[in-house]
Amino acid sequence: MVSSASRPRIGITTYLEPTIWGVWERDAALLPRVYLDAVVAAGGVPLLLPPVGTDTSVLEVLDGLVIAGGCDVDPAAYDAEPHPETVATRPGRDEHETILIRAALDLDLPLLAICRGLQMLNVALGGTLHQHLPEVVTHDEHRPSPAVFGVTEVKVEPGTLTSRVIGDRASVHCYHHQAIDVVAATLTVTARAGDGTVEAAEVDSHGFALGVQWHPEENPDDLRLFTALTDAALKRRSK
């Protein structure tokens, strides 16, 4: 845990969704609290980044960036026709996160991409996605039922950033029906599930640019990925 005087500022991308609170029903920028709690518990200060008014200058005040999970990525982002199971896409959010990802990588800003975030990282760098993973792996274990997280065993490639953070194997919380198909040229796959699904990938030649297909924010007893992000953010700041 870092001191309050030096806590790194961690930006987190948010959803823009129709929302109801009290007597109001309006579009709102929102994010599950578990992301905020994970960043705070790891020693960071969370700052929310709504998918409107995109301006990469915001990265200049950040020490690290989290690309959060969420809805399906629009297949138009990687020149594909939509699958019948691809629903509730948010092209505006896709564009917003693509801009932030590319700018963060240009700045070598520490980056942690989660679930949809890993998919966006791959797409932003030129990769593609499986739009409906159950058709590929012939099971629904990555998303067992609505609002129920699955548990996936992942095997990590030794000698990678991923392995330095979480070790050679891990049992993780997952909830997704899309996943990486063609891997972007500048990404290296660093973990897979037993069925071959890409579970983690790192951006080549960057200090800390890591994406995971699972949801580390859902396990408050294991904050290693968030702690590694805040540590990398502090090191970058010290330079």
Q: Is 171 inside any structural domain? A: no
CATH of residue 92's domain is 3.40.50.880
Q: Is 222 inside any structural domain? A: yes
Amino acid identity, residue 235? K
Yes or no: say if 212 and 203 are a contact pair by the CB < 8 Å rule: no
Q: Is 132 inside any structural domain? A: no
Q: Is 174 marked active-site?
A: no
Distance CA 73, CA 86 (A): 8
Number of domains present in the structure of the chain: 1
Q: Hey, is 163 helix, strand or coil? A: helix
Q: What is the pLDDT of residue 6?
A: 85
Helices and strands per DSSP (H, E), number in the chain: 6, 13
Q: Is 30 inside any structural domain? A: yes
Q: What is the pLDDT of residue 3?
A: 52
Yes or no: say if 162 and 200 are a contact pair by the CB < 8 Å rule: yes
Q: What is the pLDDT of residue 85?
A: 97
Q: What is the pLDDT of residue 2?
A: 47
Q: Is 217 marked active-site?
A: yes
Q: Is 150 inside any structural domain? A: no
- Rounded to 5°, the CA angle 181-187-191 comes to 70
Distance CA 76, CA 23 (A): 36
Q: Is 22 inside any structural domain? A: yes
Distance CA 177, CA 9 (A): 31
Q: What is the pLDDT of residue 35?
A: 98
In tens, the pLDDT along 59-97 reads: 999 999 999 999 999 999 999 999 999 999 999 999 999
Catalytic residue among 115, 130, 176, 218: 115
Q: Is 71 marked active-site?
A: no
Q: Is 34 inside any structural domain? A: yes
Q: Is 193 inside any structural domain? A: no
Catalytic residue among 97, 199, 202, 217: 217
Residue 118 makes CB contacts below 8 A (sequence gap 6+) with 180, 198, 200, 201, 211, 212, 213
Residue 154 makes CB contacts below 8 A (sequence gap 6+) with 169, 170, 171, 172, 191, 192, 193, 199, 200, 214
Domain that holds residue 219: 4-127+199-238
Per-residue pLDDT of the chain (239 residues; tens, 9 = 90+): 445 558 999 999 999 999 999 999 999 999 999 999 999 999 999 999 999 999 999 999 999 999 999 999 999 999 999 999 999 999 999 999 999 999 999 999 999 999 999 999 999 999 999 999 999 999 999 999 999 999 999 999 999 999 999 999 999 999 999 999 999 999 999 999 999 999 999 999 999 999 999 999 999 999 999 999 999 999 999 88
Q: What is the pLDDT of residue 5?
A: 57
Catalytic residue among 96, 176, 177, 215: 215
